[in-house]
Structure 1
């Protein structure tokens, strides 16, 4: 019986020793692997902030592009106005800015009927046109200006016919805040009526 007990003790001790050796070997292998992979681990940890920063930049760019598309969808600029009045406008001794007081349409409120000036609310390409009716006894001449610079003009000489009609149109690339208006030349005239014989119109074609 004693011999059997001794044998059990020896077997238990041997098993314990074997288990300790195996654990020690595993710990050594783990530590060795961890040491070998440490540079890769550090490199991976260092790359994560850069990756997150890149993703944040892309997200901000996408948000900016979406905001621009929404702004373009919301931006509508359309106006049309008549000279109004009850008869001849002019002649004047100097260049005179036309004030089309009879507003027909003013979506976006870029046209000011008190000054006759259209002010571009956004950068983009715009289309403008203007027409006039006048009596033939005097010369008629209107020109469209952008910020003090003559762009296009239309005119008719004094004649024996009873009436003159004319107009012109143009597309312009404008920056935000650029003014556009119509000017009457000295010693000329046009006809103003509520029926809208003499008009100034424009609208936004595309925005940046």
Structure 2
């Protein structure tokens, strides 16, 4: 009888531990949204440039760095990311979302003298490991409108793994 009781206590402790782990996972909120705010046109630059979205709108878990423009996954999981821009017609806009130095998705607009403003965007669902880094780069010669939340970068954890 003592053996059965000991076995039941072991199972109960394991179940309680699993429940606590699930509670912690459930409470993990990873989400951010940030805007590039530089008072007007940002770029063009003479080289590819990481676009720093310097004005956080939300930054749960502090995973997005407004000084470097880099999101670092705080937990492994499935995430959703969105990039969006507005640009004038004078210069091209060419933005690419990178994961650990590899391009994932891009959005572009060609320069045109006949239009005043263009918009574009893209999105991706990615499986990330803890520590993976995501950021947006503007191609050489690109520009965006960086005023009043026209150009944004957002992401959130869909499910922890």
- Give the TM-score normalised by the residue count of structure 1: 0.72
Among 98, 118, 132, the alignment partner of 1:164 is 118
Post-superposition Cα deviations, 1:107-144, rounded to whole Å, max 9, x if no partner, equal: 11111101111111111111110110111111110010
Shift of residue 98 of structure 1? 0.9
State the secondary structure of the residue aligned to 2:47. Answer: coil
In the alignment, the residues of structure 1 paired with residue 20 and residue 101 of structure 2 have an alpha-carbon distance, to the nearest angstrom, of 33
Higher relative contact order (CA 8 A, sep 6+): 2
Local SS of the residue matching 2:12: helix
| Bigger CA radius of gyration | 1
Work out whether 1:207 is the aligned partner of 2:160. Answer: yes
2:104 is paired with a residue whose SS is strand
Change (3 A) 1:148 1:53: farther
Name whichever structure is richer in strand by fraction: 2
Runs of 4+ displaced beyond 6 Å? none
Report the equivalent of 1:117: 70
Q: Aligned-pair RMSD on alpha carbons?
A: 1.6
Partner residue in 1 for 2:60:
107
Q: Name the structure 2 match of 1:192.
A: 146
Which is richer in helix? Answer: 1
Establish whether residue 179 from structure 1 lines up as the match of residue 138 from structure 2.
no
Unaligned 5+ runs, structure 1:
1-43
**Counterpart Cα distance in 2 of 1:54 and 1:95:** 62
Could you list the runs of 5+ residues in structure 2 that have no partner in the other structure? none
| 1:65 maps to which of 18, 42, 52 | 18
Q: What's the TM-score, normalizing by structure 2? A: 0.92
